[in-house]
Amino acid sequence: MQIKENISLQPFNSFGIDVYAKYFASFNSIDQLQELIASTQHKKNKHLILGGGSNILFTKNMEALVIKNEIEGVEVIEEQDDFILVQAGAGMNWHQFVVYCIHHGYAGVENLALIPGSIGASPMQNIGAYGVEIKDIFHSLEAIDMHDGNKKIFTNAECEFGYRESVFKNKYKDQFAITSVTYRLSKKPVFNTTYGAIQQEIDEMGIKDLSIKAIAQAVMNIRNSKLPDPLKIGNAGSFFKNPEIETGEFEKIKLAFPSLVGYPTKKDNIKIPAGWLIEQAGWKGFKEGDVGCYDKQALVLVNYGKATGMQILDLSERIIKSVQSTFGIMLQREVNVY
Ligand code: EPU
């Protein structure tokens, strides 16, 4: 394990922002992580733990020790008639984990195919897509406290999951390095095809016998058709969260904008697609220099080449103001800004 100095973070963030880290190191075991915690560079500097770098916007050079989690490996730790506990290293690529589960017939993650990022990042923001969130199948995780190097296990309840939220984005921000995550997957799948265009895509694919593999393929087709590939166009998926508003407020806005769509939430509020609000406010397909609002999904801000993090942040501010003045709704960012 080597601590390098003055390293470009461009290859380590899906926006492709070219900022520098004062110190940079990667680890592939808990021992190596503990060595890093004991290092002078850690003691004298702030730290940032990077997973896949797919939900982060760098706006400046990082005067910190940036640590990349590369703990790999996946293993079954318990098997019963109807479920299985699978533990994966936090550095494992999320989609590779989905592929592994589908190959072995473990159900629960098929709707989450092709989400960029790592296993360790999945509980950070309770990743979700097409009617499923990881909190539905999350069992527990192991993490190392960056203050003292001690191991701590977090149960589902202790992670305090919410919509794209967890304790790791809030009160424990930057305190723990997640080293592995255990998921409880089902050996008897319950197919979830009600969300959005999944069923329609499955019909178009000509699938007669539904399977977790078919659902994952349908999800991949839909994602590929409207989300930009970060390897080609820098982005971090949804830049904003879908806002929740009260039913009364929803009705009022709908009077002025009859095409407004919304989905009731468990708290009797209405969740509105931020992509719709941004499109209606006129930003979809906007491009200025290398910064833009993606033309197939307005919720995604993109770097067409050499955009800086500040330029992307600035565009997000303009969008927030414009949506606020058009609809009276304040968008919140989903992406972590540094
Ligand atoms: N819409 C528009 N214009 C747009 C985009 C969306 O009008 O430019 C409207 C359409 O009415 C569409 C609705 O928004 O029916 C919902 O769009 P979509 O199904 O694409 O989903 P989303 O609400 O925009 C959320 C997640 C995505 C996830 C999809 C699918 C958030 C912040 N985003 O997006 O997650 O893939 O649902 O489940 O909740 C991510 O978090 O990075 C992410 C990509």
Please give the class, per CATH, of domain 234-337: alpha beta
**What does each C-alpha distance from 120 to 91, 177, 192, 211, 271 come to in angstroms?**
6, 8, 24, 27, 27
Q: Is the CB of 334 under 6 A from ligand 1?
A: yes
Domain with CATH 3.30.465.10 in the chain: 74-186
Q: Which fold has domain 4-69?
A: 3.30.43
Query: What residue ranges of the chain are covered by domains with CATH 3.30.43.10?
Result: 4-69
pTM: 0.94
User: Using CA atoms, how far apart are residues 330 and 37, in angstroms rounded to an integer?
Assistant: 39
pLDDT, residue 241, reads 96
CB count within 10 Å of CB 278 equals: 26
Give dist(CA 54, CA 235) in Å, integer. Answer: 8
Q: Report the pLDDT value the prediction gives residue 194, as an integer from 0 to 100.
A: 86
Residues with catalytic roles: 164, 238, 334
Residue 162: count other Cβ atoms within 10 Å of its Cβ: 14
Confidence band, pLDDT 50/70/90 cuts, at residue 201: very high
What's the confidence (pLDDT) of residue 283?
98
The rounded distance, in Å, linking the Cα atoms of 58 and 312 is 10
Name which residue sits closest to atom 41 of ligand 1, judged by CA: 238
pLDDT band, residue 197 (cuts 50/70/90): confident
Task: Give the position of tokens 């009260």.
Answer: 246
Instruction: Output the CA 45–ligand 1 centroid distance in Å.
Output: 38
Q: What is the pLDDT of residues 57-87, one digit of tens each?
A: 999 999 999 999 999 999 999 999 999 999 9
What is the mean predicted confidence (pLDDT) over 274-296? 97
| Protein residue with its CA nearest to atom 29 in ligand 1 | 129
Distance CA 96, CA 84 (A): 18
Q: 166 — phi, psi (to 5°)?
A: -160, 175
For residue 196, the CA-to-ligand 1 centroid distance in Å is: 9
Q: What span, in angstroms and rounded, lies between the C-alpha atoms of 20 and 60?
A: 8
Round to whole Å and give the CA distance between 331 and 238. Answer: 12
CA distance 112 to 117: 11
**CA–CA gap between residue 201 and residue 204 (Å, rounded):** 5
Say how many Å lie between the CA of residue 236 and the centre of ligand 1. Answer: 13
Give ranges for CATH 3.90.78.10 in the chain: 234-337
* Ligand 1 atom index nearest CA of 197: 19
User: pLDDT confidence of 264, banded at 50, 70, 90?
Assistant: confident
Residue pair 330/317 in contact (Cβ under 8 Å)? The answer is no
The arrangement of secondary structure in 74-186, i.e. its CATH architecture, is 2-Layer Sandwich (3.30)
* Ligand 1 contacts CB of residue 284 (under 6 A): yes
